[in-house]
C-alpha cells in the first residue's frame, strides 16, 4: 500500500546531498596534500556538498564537524606534519567522543619508507575510530612511488565515498 513512497526516494537523496556539510582537515609539509584537498573540495562542491576547508583547523572545528575528512601526508619516520600533529595530540589528550560522526582519512606517503608508509594517515584513522567516529570508507593512501598526480586520482575516490556516506547516514538515521 505504501509502495508509492519509493517514488519520493530521489527527493530524500537530493535533500541529503544539499544539506550535508563536510569538513576537510589538512596536514602537509610540501603542499601535495593541499592540492589533493583542494581538488577534493572542488569535486564535492560540484556534487552539491558544502565544504569547510581547514589547514589544519582547531579542536573546536573538529568537534563541530558534521562529516570529517582528514587529508595528511607523513613526514619523519611515520610522523604527522607539525601543525596537524598539534591537532592530533589535542584530540588524543582531550578525547572528545565523536560518536557516529562519519569520517574518512586520505594519506599521502611513499612506500619506499617501508613500515612507516602512510603512518600519519594510519594514526589518524585509528584515533578517529577510538573516538567512536563512523568510518565511511577504508583509509586511502596515495603512494608517491605509484602516482605523481594524487590530486587527479582523488577524483575517482569521490563516488565511492559519496555512496558509502549515503549508506552510513541512512544507517544512522534509521537507528
Ligand X SMILES: Cc1cc2nc3c(=O)[nH]c(=O)nc-3n(C[C@H](O)[C@H](O)[C@H](O)COP(=O)(O)O)c2cc1C
- Give min distance, CB of 42 to ligand X, in A: 17
Stretch that binds ligand X, among 52-60, 83-91, 107-115, 163-171 (CB under 6 A): 107-115
Q: Which residue is nearest to ligand X, using beta carbons? A: 109
Three-class DSSP labels, the chain: CCHHHHHHHHHHHHHHHHHCEEEEEEECCCCHHHHHHHHHHHHHHHCCCEEEEECCCCHHHHHHCCCEEEEEECECCCECCHHHHHHHHHHHHHCCCCCCCEEEEEEEECHHHHHHCCHHHHHHHHHHHHCCCEECCCCEEEECCCCCCHHHHHHHCHHHHHHHHHHHHHHHHCC
Size of interface with ligand X, in residues (CB under 6 A)? 21
Residue 77 or 126: the one with the smaller Cβ distance to ligand X is: 77
57 binds ligand X (CB under 6 A): no
31 binds ligand X (CB under 6 A): yes
* CB contact set of 32 (below 8 Å; sequence gap of 6+): 73, 108, 144, 150, 151
User: Considering only residues 78, 125, 154, 165, which one is a binding residue for ligand X as defined by CB under 6 A?
Assistant: 78
Q: Please give the residues from 116 up to 175 whose contact with ligand X meets the rule CB under 6 A.
A: 116-119, 144
Query: What's the min distance (Å) between Cβ of 87 and ligand X?
Result: 15
**Of residues 30 and 89, the one with the C-beta less far from ligand X:** 30
Using the rule CB under 6 A, give the single segment among 14-22, 73-81, 88-96, 159-167 that binds ligand X. Answer: 73-81
Q: Which residues bind ligand X (CB under 6 A)?
A: 28-33, 73-78, 108-110, 113, 116-119, 144
Amino acid at each position: 500500500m505504501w509502495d508509492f513512497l519509493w517514488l519520493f526516494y530521489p527527493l530524500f537523496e537530493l535533500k541529503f546531498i544539499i544539506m550535508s556539510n563536510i569538513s576537510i582537515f589538512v596536514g602537509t609539509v610540501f603542499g601535495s596534500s593541499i592540492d589533493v584537498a583542494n581538488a577534493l573540495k572542488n569535486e564535492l562542491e560540484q556534487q552539491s556538498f558544502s565544504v569547510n576547508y581547514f589547514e589544519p583547523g582547531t579542536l573546536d572545528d573538529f568537534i563541530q564537524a558534521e562529516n570529517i575528512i582528514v587529508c595528511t601526508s607523513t613526514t619523519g619516520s611515520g610522523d604527522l606534519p607539525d601543525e596537524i600533529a598539534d591537532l592530533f595530540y589535542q584530540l588524543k589528550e582531550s578525547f572528545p567522543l565523536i560518536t557516529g560522526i562519519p569520517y574518512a582519512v586520505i594519506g599521502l606517503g611513499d612506500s619506499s619508507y617501508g613500515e612507516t608508509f602512510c603512518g600519519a594517515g594510519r594514526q589518524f584513522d585509528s584515533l578517529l575510530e577510538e573516538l567512536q567516529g563512523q568510518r565511511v570508507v577504508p583509509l586511502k593512501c596515495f603512494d608517491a612511488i605509484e602516482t605523481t598526480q594524487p590530486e587527479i586520482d582523488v577524483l575517482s575516490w569521490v563516488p565511492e565515498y559519496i555512496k558509502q556516506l549515503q549508506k552510513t547516514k541512512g544507517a544512522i538515521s534509521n537507528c
